[in-house]
A and B are shown apart, each in its own frame.
Chain A
Amino acid sequence: SQQGEEDPQALSIQEGENATMNCSYKTSINNLQWYRQNSGRGLVHLILIRSNEREKHSGRLRVTLDTSKKSSSLLITASRAADTASYFCAKRSGGSNYKLTFGKGTLLTVNP
């Protein structure tokens, strides 16, 4: 089974707008990570938030984590056409620190 399900599946916005993507999971986590994948490329690690953290920032990215709701969100502020990509959340389970389980991703399109 896959955990780390993203919502929405696809999102289309204009340059300069903010983009918010959500991720839900089912069981306890050690940490939750967000990755970006440009078309035809490998995944690139964006940001990691641990289970005891509630919010992290990295440049124009802001990630929040609500362990009571088993959900996380990724906010990209002031989006650019270059942000067009698929975004995946992935969770590292508390019971097994080795495996990273990915969701199906959100396809973000930023229109110039």
Chain B
Amino acid sequence: NAGVTQTPKFQVLKTGQSMTLQCAQDMNHEYMSWYRQDPGMGLRLIHYSVGAGITDQGEVPNGYNVSRSTTEDFPLRLLSAAPSQTSVYFCASSYRIGQGDGYTFGSGTRLTVV
């Protein structure tokens, strides 16, 4: 099925551990992004990419790294997990940068850092 696939769906980490959240899309979308959603805060942009090899920071990038080696994949790496990174993480993609298309979202990864 075409869409945005996020793995894992749930993850529990200990403080200081690192991990990678996976995101893949099969729609040949140029634009991909990572958001985190916290209660009462809406969605906040972490990092985004406008194409393979190009990434940039969003609103809350600290503690996260990204890379975009292919059009399809946009993994998000947590370098040293902290309890403040407990959140639900969403990956989203869009075609036609600047043409006004809506985003397609993945189903999310619920991360708990203890």
Q: In the bound complex, what is the Cα–Cα distance between A97 and B106 (angstroms)?
A: 21
Q: How many residue pairs at the A-B interface have CB separations less than 8 Å? A: 65
A13 at the interface (CB under 8 A from B): no
Q: In the bound complex, what is the Cα–Cα distance between A42 and B108 (angstroms)?
A: 6
28 contacts between A and B (CB under 8 A): A2-B42, A30-B98, A30-B100, A35-B103, A35-B105, A41-B108, A42-B105, A42-B108, A43-B43, A43-B90, A43-B92, A43-B105, A45-B102, A48-B100, A48-B101, A90-B103, A92-B100, A97-B97, A97-B98, A98-B56, A98-B98, A99-B48, A99-B58, A100-B33, A100-B92, A101-B45, A102-B42, A102-B44
A33 at the interface (CB under 8 A from B): yes
Q: In the bound complex, what is the Cα–Cα distance between A33 and B43 (angstroms)?
A: 14
Kindly supply a per-residue 1/0 record for chain A positions 31-43, scoring 1 wherever the CB is within 8 Å of any chain B CB and 0 otherwise.
1010100000111
Which of B100, B106, B107, B108 has a CB less than 8 Å from the CB of A31? B100
User: Mostly helix, strand, loop or mixed at chain B's interface?
Assistant: strand
B74 at the interface (CB under 8 A from A): no
Whether A45 and B98, one on each chain, are in contact in the complex, defined by CB atoms closer than 8 angstroms, is: no
Q: In the bound complex, what is the Cα–Cα distance between A42 and B105 (angstroms)?
A: 6
Q: A42-B90, A43-B90 are in contact. Are A98 and B102 (CB under 8 A)?
A: no
Number of B residues contacting the other chain (C-beta, 8 Å)?
Answer: 29
Q: In the bound complex, what is the Cα–Cα distance between A31 and B92 (angstroms)?
A: 17
Whether A102 and B105, one on each chain, are in contact in the complex, defined by CB atoms closer than 8 angstroms, is: no
Residues of B near any A CB (own CB < 8 A): 4, 31, 33, 35, 40-45, 48, 50, 56, 58-59, 90, 92, 94, 97-98, 100-108
CB-defined contacts of A2 to chain B, threshold 8 Å: 41-42, 44
Q: A30-B98, A31-B100 are in contact. Are A104 and B41 (CB under 8 A)?
A: yes
